[in-house]
């Protein structure tokens, strides 16, 4: 007897007749010739094989919202080409064409009733640049979640997304922190949060730009342990996530720094081939993020400040990490960092790659070394996605605007720390001294702040990290 049985029950349409969608001639599931009107009457589910067709935001709104109850919010907030992205076609041109086609960004949000009960509803639209998370989408999500948390209204999110939007660079990556912080507050308010995953959902520049990328990745560049052992000679490493394993890609432990016990966390890539394999080239598994949070909670218990050193091409993308929940581990880490009530200063010391870096980069202050990089994706990954040709990595690096000079101009970090002549690789001691001075200077005022004020400022730092979207007055002031 089958454990699961397919039910052919009719599902009532809440909002009335569904909009038409583009359909193939035959069903991809069973090959039967499609009758569009009949298929629409069955909510775009094949009556023969049960194949579910991909739906846009307008269809999901019609399916879920009671007829006549949908009130869209913030539809006038629109995307802009911040990076002057021009390849393979201008980004602004792509956005304008999609707007002319009747789409309104990758995410629509608003209020409605569902079976007579008020809810906030947000739904991604994969037809708009692959449903990617942009500054506008992140802003709409955060605003809606904040209002749902304030009123105790249930929040429903329908996801169909290809990740962060490449054409908006690191500012798109920062939306992951903004949205996860808002989700955390939504959870804390007690308001119900329903996440509906639909098909498809993916988890988540005076030297040339490429020369800086190569400097950030230089095999002789100081790694986290090189800095930590100079900042805190009595450093004691701590291991394990207390659930399954230790992750050598992340170093964590305590040491005395400026006469204060401090928790140090840092990616560690390894020097020799053997060590790089053992440390997985600094690419963390789920166990690494759990270890970081375990140690962070210890720091919170004893009042230790936290230093986080970032140097990773990204989280490990292998099958094992996926099976053990790497996307959930990163999302949970981002959310939890907003709840750690001690000062945190993060520094990008080499590569700051995508969500893998952001999972260790939610802090009260974030600084970068001069020849480090911070990006929504590696240049190779961006080239593969945009051109399907990773040999165009140099061109991708220029488009991504990932150097420290460009990142500080966007307001993503507070300071760029100068490196010794010849880069940090040329003089470990001088590089460590410069980093130490900057970290201490940024940490000092944080140590004087009450915990509640510290957490609120951390939330605000990421909530208003871009200077293009103006917060509504009751959402609080922007951060300078």
Instruction: Give residue-wise pLDDT tens across range 104-156.
Output: 899 999 999 999 999 999 999 998 888 888 999 999 999 999 999 999 999 99
For residues 458-473, average pLDDT? 68
Contacts of 49 (CB under 8 A, 6+ apart): 27, 29, 30, 32
Domain count, the chain: 3
Distance between CA 198 and CA 367 in Å, rounded? Answer: 37
Whether residue 474 is contained in a domain is answered as no
Looking at the structure, tell me whether residues 312 and 392 fall in a common domain.
yes
Distance between CA 416 and CA 216 in Å, rounded? Answer: 14
Whether residue 88 is contained in a domain is answered as yes
Q: CATH number of the domain at 76, please.
A: 3.90.226.10
Domain stops at, among 163, 197, 231: 197
Place of tokens 């520049």: 205
pLDDT at 434 over 70: yes
Q: Do the beta carbons of residue 291 and residue 252 sit within 8 Å?
A: yes
Instruction: Give me the half-sphere count of Cα atoms (radius 13 Å) on the Cβ side of residue 308.
Output: 26
Distance between CA 98 and CA 128 in Å, rounded? Answer: 7
pLDDT value of residue 203: 57
Secondary element (H or E) of residue 306? strand 306-312
Looking at the structure, tell me whether residues 249 and 382 fall in a common domain.
yes
pLDDT band at 25 (very low <50, low <70, confident <90, very high): confident
Q: Residue 263 belongs to what domain range?
A: 209-448
Question: What is the per-residue pLDDT across 60-90, written as a single tens digit (0 to 9) for each?
Answer: 999 999 999 999 999 888 777 777 787 778 8
Looking at the structure, tell me whether residues 179 and 234 fall in a common domain.
no
In DSSP terms, 197 is beta-bridged to 159
Question: What is the per-residue pLDDT across 261-304, written as a single tens digit (0 to 9) for each?
Answer: 999 999 999 988 999 999 988 999 999 999 999 999 999 999 99
Whether residue 461 is contained in a domain is answered as no
Pairing of strands 344-353, 155-159: unpaired
pTM for the model stands at 0.82
Question: What is the per-residue pLDDT across 97-109, written as a single tens digit (0 to 9) for each?
Answer: 888 888 889 999 9
Place of tokens 């007829």: 67
Whether residue 103 is contained in a domain is answered as yes
Distance between CA 313 and CA 230 in Å, rounded? Answer: 24
Looking at the structure, tell me whether residues 162 and 291 fall in a common domain.
no
Distance between CA 312 and CA 375 in Å, rounded? Answer: 11
Pairing of strands 260-267, 250-257: antiparallel
Query: Directed axis angle between helix 224-231 and helix 428-447, to 10°?
Result: 70
Looking at the structure, tell me whether residues 301 and 436 fall in a common domain.
yes
Whether residue 479 is contained in a domain is answered as no
CB burial of 34-60 (b: ≥16 within 10 Å; e: otherwise) equals beeeebbeebbebeeeeeebebbbbbb
Looking at the structure, tell me whether residues 376 and 432 fall in a common domain.
yes
């Amino acid at each position: 007897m089958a454990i699961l049985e397919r039910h052919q029950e009719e599902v009532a349409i809440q909002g009335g007749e569904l909009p038409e969608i583009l359909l193939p001639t035959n069903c991809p599931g069973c090959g039967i010739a499609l009758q569009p009107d009949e298929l629409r009457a069955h909510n775009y589910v094949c009556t023969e094989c049960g194949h579910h067709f991909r739906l846009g935001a307008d269809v999901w709104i019609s399916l879920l919202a009671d007829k006549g109850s949908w009130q869209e919010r913030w539809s006038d907030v629109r995307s802009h080409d911040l990076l002057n992205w021009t390849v393979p076609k201008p980004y602004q041109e792509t956005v304008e064409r999609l707007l002319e086609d009747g789409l309104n960004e990758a995410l629509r949000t608003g209020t409605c009733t569902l079976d007579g009960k008020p809810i906030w509803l947000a739904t991604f639209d994969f037809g708009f640049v692959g449903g990617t998370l942009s500054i506008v989408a992140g802003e709409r999500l955060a605003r809606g979640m904040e209002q749902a948390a304030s009123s105790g209204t249930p929040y429903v999110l329908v996801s169909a997304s290809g990740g962060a939007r490449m054409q908006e660079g690191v500012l798109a990556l920062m939306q992951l922190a903004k949205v996860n912080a808002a989700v955390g507050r939504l959870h804390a308010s007690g308001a119900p949060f329903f996440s509906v995953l639909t098909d498809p959902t993916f988890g988540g520049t005076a030297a040339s730009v490429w020369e800086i990328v190569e400097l950030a990745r230089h095999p002789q560049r100081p790694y986290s342990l090189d800095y930590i052992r100079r900042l805190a000679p009595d450093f004691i490493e701590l291991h394990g996530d207390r659930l399954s394993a230790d992750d050598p890609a992340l170093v964590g432990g305590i040491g005395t720094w400026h006469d204060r016990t401090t928790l140090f966390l840092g990616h560690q890539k390894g020097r020799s081939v053997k060590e790089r394999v053992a440390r997985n080239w600094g690419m963390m598994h789920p166990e690494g993020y759990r270890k970081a949070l375990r140690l962070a909670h210890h720091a919170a218990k004893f009042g230790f400040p936290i230093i986080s050193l970032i140097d990773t091409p990204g989280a490990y993308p292998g099958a094992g990490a996926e099976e053990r929940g790497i996307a959930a581990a990163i999302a949970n880490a981002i959310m939890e960092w907003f709840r750690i009530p001690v000062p945190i200063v993060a520094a990008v010391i080499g590569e700051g790659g995508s969500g893998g870096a952001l999972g260790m980069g939610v802090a009260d202050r974030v600084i970068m070394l001069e020849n480090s990089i911070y990006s929504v994706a590696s240049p190779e990954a961006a080239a593969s996605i945009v051109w399907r040709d990773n040999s165009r990595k140099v061109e991708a690096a220029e488009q991504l605007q990932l150097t420290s000079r460009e990142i500080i101009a966007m307001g993503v970090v507070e300071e760029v720390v100068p490196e010794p002549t010849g880069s940090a690789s040329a003089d470990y001691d001088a590089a460590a001294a410069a980093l130490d001075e900057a970290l201490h200077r940024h940490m000092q005022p944080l140590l004087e702040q009450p915990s509640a004020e510290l957490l609120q400022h951390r939330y605000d730092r990421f909530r208003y990290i871009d200077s293009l979207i103006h917060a509504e007055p009751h959402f609080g002031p922007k951060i300078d």
